[in-house]
């Protein structure tokens, strides 16, 4: 995704391939935070997410000559990051769970919040995280893209490589599944 301020991604890729390392540094600065948010949503661990994003940028740099430009640079980089994050999550699941809170899903409490309000919000956030974890991977991915990365339906279709209708269908199903999971949880609790 090209930025309006500064050179386009395509120009920066060309300059990087020509040996201008500062051009790649601009791409890193441009997308690091967005990719970290996506990786954090998958991993629930900011430090691991940052490592994954760093690995993704390194992998993209090493394979930049193979970037065929059938999609936007960010889409290609996003896919590398997501694949690495999913792999890291699988490895973490086999070796234990990562339980660091995901700041991307929570807002800072206001000063007027009571301790009970804060506790209730934390419990709600945890319930949503657990519900997202129970979704099938293809549904979890579209929810993360839409709700965490704030991607449009068209961007989700491009990033996932599925038709727009499939994106809409998966989002609809994912939201319905989340509703059911959360309703069952509510019924179990009280």
pTM tops 0.85, yes or no = no
Residues 22 and 111 reside in one and the same domain: no
Residues ≥6 apart with Cβ < 8 Å to 102: 40, 41, 44, 46, 129
In CATH, what number is assigned to the domain containing residue 170? 1.10.10.10
Note whether 23 and 53 are same-domain residues.
yes
Same domain, 87 and 11: yes
The answer to whether residues 81 and 31 belong to one domain is yes
Same domain, 110 and 65: no
Looking at the fold, whether 96 and 111 belong to one and the same domain comes out as: no
Strands (E), the chain: none
- Indicate which CATH number applies to the domain containing 46: 1.10.1740.10
Q: Which residues of 47-70 are buried (b: 16+ CB within 10 A; e: fewer)?
A: ebbbebbebbbeebeeeeeeeeee
Same structural domain, 190 and 172: yes
How many structural domains are present in the chain? Answer: 2
- Which domain range does residue 46 map to? 1-103
For residues 183 and 127, state if they share a domain: yes
81 and 127 both lie in a single domain: no
- 23 and 64 in a single domain? The answer is yes
Reading the chain (190 residues) residue by residue, the pLDDT tens digits are 445 578 999 999 999 999 998 999 999 999 999 999 888 888 888 888 899 999 999 999 988 888 888 889 999 999 899 889 888 887 777 654 333 334 444 444 444 567 777 777 777 777 777 888 888 888 888 888 888 777 888 888 888 888 989 999 998 898 888 888 888 877 776 5
Shared-domain flag, residues 118 and 168: yes
22 and 115 in a single domain? The answer is no
User: Of 51, 75, 103, which one is at a domain's C-terminal end?
Assistant: 103
| DSSP at 37 | H
Q: What is the pLDDT of residue 190?
A: 57
The last residue of a domain, from among 88, 103, 118: 103
Cα-based distances in Å from 184 to 38, 106, 140, 189, 190: 27, 22, 19, 9, 10
């Amino acid at each position: 995704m090209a930025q309006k301020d500064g050179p386009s991604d395509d120009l920066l890729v060309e300059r990087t391939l020509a040996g201008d390392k500062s051009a790649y540094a601009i791409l890193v600065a441009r997308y690091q935070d967005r990719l970290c948010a996506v990786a954090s949503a998958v991993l629930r661990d900011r430090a691991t997410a940052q490592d994954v994003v760093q690995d993704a940028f390194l992998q993209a740099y090493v394979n930049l000559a193979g970037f065929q430009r059938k999609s936007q640079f960010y889409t290609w980089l996003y896919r590398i990051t997501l694949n690495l994050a999913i792999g890291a999550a699988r490895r973490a699941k086999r070796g234990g769970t990562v339980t660091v809170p995901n700041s991307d899903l929570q807002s800072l409490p206001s000063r007027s919040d009571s301790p009970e309000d804060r506790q209730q919000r934390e419990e709600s956030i945890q319930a949503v995280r657990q519900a997202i974890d129970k979704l099938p991977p293809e549904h979890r991915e579209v929810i993360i893209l839409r709700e965490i990365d704030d991607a449009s339906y068209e961007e989700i279709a491009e990033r996932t490589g599925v038709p727009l209708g499939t994106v809409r269908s998966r989002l609809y199903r994912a939201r319905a599944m989340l509703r059911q999971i959360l309703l069952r949880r509510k019924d179990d609790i009280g």
